[in-house]
Chain A
Amino acid sequence: MNQDKNYIDPPKSAERFFEWYCQPALYDSILGDLYERFDDNVEQFGARKAKRKFWFDVIRFINRHTLKKSGQSKYFNNMSILNNYFKVGFRNLIKNRSFTAINVLGLSVSMAVCLVIILMINDQLSYDNWQVNSDKTYRFTHNDRNDLNIPIATVPMPLGEEMHDKFAGFEHMVTFRRGFFGDIIQNGKAIALQGYFTEPSFFELFSFELERGNPKTALSEPNSIVLKKDIAEKLFKDQDPMGQSIEVGKYGVYQVTGVLKEFPGKTHIKFESLVSMSSLANLEKRKVLGSSLGNWNNASESWIYFKLRDGYSIEGLQAYLTEAEKEHYEADSDERKEFEIQKMSKITPGPLYGNQIGAGMPNFFVIGLGVLAILIIICATFNYTNLSAARALTRTKEVGVRKVMGAKKTQLTIQFIVESILVSVLSLCVAIGLLQFLIPAFENLQMSALLEWELRPDPKAYLQFFAFSVLLGLITGIFPSLYLASFKPIQAMKNSVSNTKLSRLSLRKALIVTQFVISIVLIVSSVLVYKQIKFMVEKDYGFTKENILNVHMQGQDFRKFETELEKLPFIESVTATNNIPGMGTEYSEEAKLKTGETFPLNYFDVDEDYISSLELELIAGRNFLKSAASVNQQSVILNETAVDKFGFESSVDAVGEQFYIENDSTVYNVVGVVKDYNYMMLVMDIGPMMLRYDPVGFRIAQIKIAGFDRVKEITAIEDVWDEFDPNHEIILKTFQGEIDEFNALFYDILYIVGLVAILSISIAGMGLLGISTYAIQIRMKEVSIRKVLGASVRTLIFLLSKSLSIMLTISFIIGFSLAYMANNVWLNQFAYRTSFGVDVFFMTALAMTVIGAMTIGWQAWRATKANPATTLRDD
Chain B
Amino acid sequence: MNSKLGEFEEIVLMLVAAQHEEAYGLSVTKAIEKELERSVTMSSVHTALYRLEEKGFVSSKIGDAEGNRRGRRKRVFIITAQGKSALKETREARNHIWNMIPKFVLDIG
Q: List chain A positions with a Cβ less than 8 A from chain B.
A: 1, 5, 7, 26, 28-37, 39, 57, 60-61, 63, 65-66
Contacts and interface: CB of A to CB of B under 8 A. Distances in A.
Nearest to A65: B50
**Residue among B24, B26, B43, B72 facing the most chain A CB atoms (10 A cut-off):** B43
Contacts of B62: 28-29
Contacts of B26: 33, 36-37
7 nearest A-B pairs in the assembled complex, by CB-CB distance: A32-B72, A29-B75, A32-B69, A60-B43, A33-B26, A61-B43, A65-B50
B73 A33 contact: no
Contacts of B70: 32, 35
12 contacts: A7-B68, A26-B75, A29-B72, A31-B72, A32-B65, A32-B70, A36-B67, A36-B68, A57-B41, A57-B42, A61-B42, A66-B46
Interface in B32-85: 41-44, 46-47, 50-51, 62, 65, 67-70, 72-75
Contacts of A63: 43, 47
Nearest to B63: A29
Contact of B24 (A33, A35, A60): A33
A35 B43 contact: no
Q: Which of B29, B47, B51 has the most CB of A within 10 A?
A: B47
B24 A29 contact: yes
Contact of B25 (A7, A29, A60): A29
Nearest to B66: A1
A2 to B, nearest CB: 9
A35 B25 contact: no
A536 B50 CA distance: 81
B37 to A, nearest CB: 16
A61 B46 contact: yes
Given A30-B25, A32-B74, A1 B42 contact: no
A36 B30 CA distance: 11
Contact of B42 (A5, A37, A39): A37
B34 to A, nearest CB: 12
A390 to B, nearest CB: 53
Contacts of A57: 41-43
A35 B43 CA distance: 13
Contacts of B50: 65
A765 to B, nearest CB: 58
Nearest to A31: B72
A65 B67 contact: no
A31 B47 CA distance: 14
Given A29-B62, A36-B26, A37-B26, 12 more contacts: A1-B67, A5-B68, A26-B75, A28-B75, A29-B73, A30-B25, A32-B72, A32-B74, A36-B67, A57-B42, A60-B44, A63-B47
Nearest to A3: B68
A28 B43 contact: no
A35 B51 CA distance: 23
A855 B72 CA distance: 68
Most buried by B among A26, A29, A31, A66: A29
Contacts of A30: 25, 46
A729 B29 CA distance: 75
Interface string B89-108: 00000000000000000000
A35 B24 CA distance: 14
Contacts of B73: 28-29, 32
Contacts of A32: 65, 67, 69-70, 72-74
A35 B41 contact: no
Contact of B69 (A35, A60, A65): A35
A682 to B, nearest CB: 73
Contacts of A65: 46-47, 50-51
B46 A35 contact: no
Contacts of A28: 62, 72-73, 75
Nearest to B70: A35
Nearest to A2: B68
A26 B49 CA distance: 12
Contacts of B44: 60
A123 to B, nearest CB: 41
A31 B65 CA distance: 11
A10 to B, nearest CB: 10
A39 B70 CA distance: 11
B76 to A, nearest CB: 9
B42 A35 contact: no
A61 B44 CA distance: 8
A548 B20 CA distance: 101
Interface string B1-43: 0000000000000000000000011100100000000000111
A714 B19 CA distance: 96
A32 B68 CA distance: 8
A61 B41 CA distance: 9
Contacts of A66: 43, 46
Of listed B50, B67, B68, residue having the most chain A CB within 10 A: B68
Nearest to B75: A29
B97 to A, nearest CB: 32
A266 B68 CA distance: 47
A131 B62 CA distance: 52
A63 B51 CA distance: 12
Nearest to A9: B70
A63 B45 CA distance: 12
Contact of A36 (B47, B69, B75): B69
A36 B66 CA distance: 10
A57 B45 CA distance: 12
Nearest to B26: A33
A39 B26 CA distance: 12
Contacts of B72: 28-29, 31-32, 35
A29 B65 CA distance: 9
B68 A39 contact: yes
A35 B26 CA distance: 10
A35 B74 contact: no
A35 B68 contact: yes
Contacts of B68: 1, 5, 7, 35-36, 39
A694 to B, nearest CB: 83
Contacts of A1: 67-68
Nearest to A57: B42
A61 B42 CA distance: 8
Contacts of B41: 57, 60
Contacts of B42: 33-34, 37, 57, 60-61
Nearest to B68: A39
Given A7-B68, A39-B68, A33 B25 contact: yes
Contacts of A61: 42-43, 46
A157 to B, nearest CB: 58
B59 to A, nearest CB: 14
Contacts of B67: 1, 32, 36
Nearest to A25: B75
Contacts of B47: 63, 65
Contacts of A33: 24-26, 29, 42, 46, 69, 74
Nearest to B76: A29
Contacts of B51: 65
